[in-house]
Amino acid sequence: MSPSRPPAVYLDHAATTPMRPRALAALTDALARTGNPSSLHTAGRTARRTVEEARERVAASLGARPSEVVWTAGGTEADNLAVKGLFWARHAQDVRRRRVVVSAVEHHAVLDPAFWLAEHSGAELVLLPVDAEGVVEVDALRAELDEHGDAVALVSVMWANNEVGTLQPLDEVVALARRHGVPVHADAVQAVGQVPVDLAASGVDALTVSGHKVGGPGSTGALLLRRGLAVTPVLHGGGQERDVRSGTLDAPLLASFATAVEEAVAERAEHAARVAALRDDLVRRVLAEVPGATLRGPSDPARRLPANAHLTFAGCEGDSLLYLLDAAGVEASTGSACQAGVPRPSHVLLAMGVGEDDARGALRFSFGGTSTQADVDAVVAALPAAVERARAAGLTSTLVGA
């Protein structure tokens, strides 16, 4: 059953953002055509041309060669291909290379494959600590590489954190890893369209991007792989994408994805300035009007994603806040993962040293192309009462439990 009314405010663009009109038009136009890009007849060659033109456009937008763009079904698959594929390839070349080094605040699409490799493929997992703002401790990486450089298969540090918006010091990470011949993967799913993302300029060896974060369709993504980098496939079948990623390519989805990436990158500077102004206004007013509110992530706006505002509210459960705001017509996100129906504090906040009680009271507000000043005003109007009710509910629950 559809909801009785549309949400008045949508501030969960980091989860998914509405499709861009041009991307939607590209999708619907291409859907009218038939053809498997692997077929040799006219329809197949037409579909192949659509795929390759999309590849060229994504490459040009993100500082890569077309041959370095490997299509995937989204960011999760791209992260799995990077982490597992690089580990298997590097370990096959040199059995000493068993260590997988990832930051403790990575998305689960990186963390879970890394833990899986440790459990099933003999990998040795190393979690890099972060500081109180979620920034990777570069000295810890330096110490790891100085001691175990010959045994490290790969390093994976995200471009920008999906929860608290922290921009990571990838230039330092890459410089350290390069001294030891270790490839670096970066999940840039949240970064594209908000900050400059360029494969060649960054020096990273593998880069993950996703369609639905930039106004493209879901189930689209890419892993940008620097030329000459060996990666063992995760999927086997038809041998598409130079045997790196088998599976029939969806030309309409890729045309739409490329359109969204191209437009997001072209409009990045203007978009970033606009949403950063909205974000800063929201943070300033919430901290002033809601007692016990704390901004998480970098205090310097230049060191975090412009569209991200992550706050915790002492004495609250994030889920309660989420539902109360939703009832008031405001859609946001908690900062926690829910496993088997049991709310748990965010691993990102815990890694930053936030206590479990405070970490449970997290909300992430993320802005996008449809965000307006009226959205900020609506949040500020609804949030104080929601926090008060959530705290009262938490206090009642504590007293009953006692």
Q: Which residues are catalytic?
A: 338
Which amino acid, 380?
Answer: V
What secondary structure letter does DSSP report for 205? S
CA distance 71 to 209: 10
d(CA 55, CA 51): 6
- Picking from 15, 49, 59, the residue whose alpha carbon sits closest to that of residue 261 is 59
Nearby residues of 366 by Cβ (< 8 Å), 6 or more positions away: 11, 12, 13, 14, 15, 307, 308, 309, 332, 333
> Which residues does 85 contact at the CB level (< 8 Å), separation at least 6?
231, 232, 233, 234, 244
d(CA 353, CA 131): 8
Residue 221: beta bridge partners?
A: 72, 210
Distance CA 263, CA 214 (A): 9
Tabulate helix, strand, coil % of the chain (nearest 5).
45, 15, 40
What tokens does 354 get?
A: 């936030």
Q: What does the block give as tokens for 138?
A: 């570069």
The rounded distance, in Å, linking the Cα atoms of 271 and 65 is: 26
- Residue 107 CA to residue 160 CA, distance in Å, equals 10
